[in-house]
Amino acid sequence: MKQFSFIFLFALLIALVGCSKDDAITPTPTTDAQAIEEMLTSVDSVSEFSESDEATISDPEEMDWEKYGFNKTTTPVKVFKWGRRVNSVDRNVNVTRFGDSLAVALLTKVFHGNLVIAVSYEDTAHRADTIIHKPFHERVQRKVIFTRIANTDNPRRNWKPIAISLVVGGALPDSVNQFTIEKLEVFAPRDTYTVTEPLNTWLRLGAHRDHVPVVHHGDSMVVRLTVVSDDDSAEAVAFRWVGDRGHDRARMRLVSSTPVSGGIERVYERTFRAHLPFGRFIGRYNVVLDVHSWGSLHDDAQAVSNRLWGFPYDVRR
């Protein structure tokens, strides 16, 4: 088992890997920070993960939730479908240099939108009769480590990404979030990963130790998430990934609930198969574990309470 609560920030000066797109992008950045910021959206090994988390988080339509056994008759509303509609995204990049050879870019996105919930106020209803729109603001962050590979006049040719962190997000302000995510475990065919600090967990790009998990089309992976909350009602935990229909979503199964200091520890689990769209031979995606409090969906007056962690993985034919 690999435990990643802290690892190799400075040791990553080795293992220079990755491939970049055409350098003939205008205008040419004039500073290292500008070059690194540009590479976050132009280098395949980084940009595809970033594009995946945006696409995975926003729902094209509401999801049928009741058929997964996720209804409860004692709550203010009975939920039939729900989805997150992202209207706009603010992006910011902060680059921190460590000497002349290493830089860490913190990519922050703030999603603005609405949680759309199809409900009924009647416990005996068989279809939704009311649509609730709850505004939300969600901050999502990821770090990327760059290392210097040259000293040319073009800063964009001087840096290469060598590792990325997990994705971590939460509703704003943080005070609305009524629970914490304690641990994420990923059981891939050839490796097991345990994460407790997502922004301080580094996965190398390329075929090196502690690398981004690489699975083949059709391989199965098990993902397990541990949440601690003082709420008596279990959370709504959605599992987001790329499936046969593109970006897909399903409910995670609650496998245990244990009283602990500070509340109740709940463990959720999901098994899924890695997928590549027809005609593609490699894909870079994120599994996103998207957790809402019970009241976010079932109480029409409660603010959106949400945390999410995202784990990158490569799929090959």
Instruction: Report domain extents, the chain.
Output: 2-8+18-316
Core vs surface per residue 226-245: b (16+ CB within 10 A) or e: bbbbebeebbbbbbbbbeee
pLDDT at position 3 is: 53
pLDDT above 70 for 238: yes
pLDDT above 70 for 69: no
pLDDT band at 279 (very low <50, low <70, confident <90, very high): confident
pLDDT at position 229 is: 96
As a whole number of angstroms, the distance between CA 51 and CA 58 comes to 11
Name which residue leads in pLDDT, 140 or 54.
140
Mean pLDDT of the chain: 83
pLDDT at position 244 is: 59
Mean pLDDT, rounded, for 204-215: 77
pLDDT above 80 for 1: no
As a whole number of angstroms, the distance between CA 210 and CA 208 comes to 6
Mean pLDDT, rounded, for 286-299: 92
The token pair that represents 117 in the structure block: 């919930």
**Could you tell me which of 76, 86, 112, 74 has the C-alpha nearest to residue 296?**
76
Mean pLDDT, rounded, for 149-162: 91
Over residues 7-51, the pLDDT tens digits come to 444 333 333 333 334 444 446 787 999 999 988 887 766 777 767
Range with lowest mean pLDDT among 22-36, 73-87, 137-151, 269-283: 22-36
pLDDT above 60 for 175: yes
pLDDT at position 9 is: 41
pLDDT at position 5 is: 41
Over residues 246-274, the pLDDT tens digits come to 677 889 999 999 999 889 999 999 998 88
pLDDT band at 243 (very low <50, low <70, confident <90, very high): low
As a whole number of angstroms, the distance between CA 243 and CA 60 comes to 15
pLDDT at position 66 is: 47
pLDDT above 80 for 199: yes
**Could you tell me which of 78, 77, 80, 82 has the C-alpha nearest to residue 61?**
82
pTM to 2 decimal places: 0.82
pLDDT band at 74 (very low <50, low <70, confident <90, very high): very low
pLDDT at position 46 is: 78
Name which residue leads in pLDDT, 86 or 8.
86
Enumerate residues 6+ apart whose C-beta is below 8 A from 35: 29, 154, 155, 156, 158, 159
pLDDT at position 270 is: 94
